[in-house]
Amino acid sequence: MIRLGPGGNCDKDLISSIKRLPTLSLSAQEIEFTHGIMMKNELAKKAGEIAKEQNIALSIHAPYYINLNSEEIEKQKASMQRILTCCERAHYLGADPVVFHAGYYGKTSKEEAYETIKNRILEMHDEIKKCGWKTTIAPEIAGKHSSFGSVEEILRLQKETGCNACIDFAHLYAREMGKLNYPKLFDKLKPLKHIHAHFSGIAYTEKGEKNHEIMTEEFFMPLAKEIVKRKSDITIISESPITWKDSLKMKSVIEKLQTH
């Protein structure tokens, strides 16, 4: 199944957005807690019930200010707490997964960063299980070379910890400096039963991602062809400047490919 939808609301508030999505023939939304978790469990439960009625798959993007590989242990713990608070909201929303940027390499080697982040994820898994929250956590492919989150690192985490994964194709495009081979990439993604993904237009420099841009149908076409060819079970969240409009563009491209 292919689900498409915006990152953030397509209307004035979350409830209105969830109700509007079916009228646009969209079936997913990522709730953006990127600048803070401004939602109580009561609203989360109400929104979750409406999303279930409307057949909208919800997910969450955790705050940006997360670094599980910080030199300061207190910052690692604060980052974990932000993710776990999102997991609590996700439980009441019926949202899955909770997506987050894992952190930066900093002064450590890539392997040291991997081991630290892996251990923090395992600790969060213990807390999620202890609290009985029904959701998963998903480190995201990062667009900057200074950020932890190559496709190999994210898939290794998924294999070794059992966490979920967020495949941000636009970030990967920037990280790979525009040299992205979708057939080879999808071979690597075979272990994922369901692919939770992000996509948008993207600008990049030699350091990687610069900023998200409006998506063109031409830019999306190579990815869309691979999704249709493989009959992928995938959710794609648009992170372009006008998310729901680009979700509709994606829908149009996929439907054209499916009818030919």
DSSP for residue 65: -
Q: pLDDT tens across 116-170, in order?
A: 999 999 999 999 999 999 999 999 999 999 999 999 999 999 999 999 999 999 9
Kindly tell me if the per-residue pLDDT of 240 is higher than 80: yes
Q: How much is the pLDDT for 97?
A: 98
* Mean pLDDT on 25-44: 95
Number of domains in the chain: 1
Q: How much is the pLDDT for 208?
A: 86
Kindly tell me if the per-residue pLDDT of 260 is higher than 80: no
Share of the chain above pLDDT 70, in %: 100
Amino acid identity at 101? H
Q: How much is the pLDDT for 75?
A: 97
CB atoms within 10 A of CB 230: 16
- Give the count of alpha carbons within 13 A of 27, CB side only: 8
Contacts of residue 144, Cβ cutoff 8 Å, sequence gap at least 6: 174, 175, 207, 208, 209
Confidence of residue 32 (pLDDT cuts 50, 70, 90): very high
CATH classification of the domain holding 183: 3.20.20.150
CB atoms within 10 A of CB 179: 7
Confidence of residue 216 (pLDDT cuts 50, 70, 90): very high
- Of 228, 222, 249, give the one whose Cα is nearest residue 238: 249
Kindly tell me if the per-residue pLDDT of 244 is higher than 90: yes
Domain that holds residue 166: 2-258
Q: Name the helix (H) or strand (E) containing 175.
A: helix 169-175
Confidence of residue 82 (pLDDT cuts 50, 70, 90): very high
Q: How much is the pLDDT for 248?
A: 98
- Direct distance between the N- and C-terminal alpha carbons of the chain, in angstroms, rounded to an integer: 18
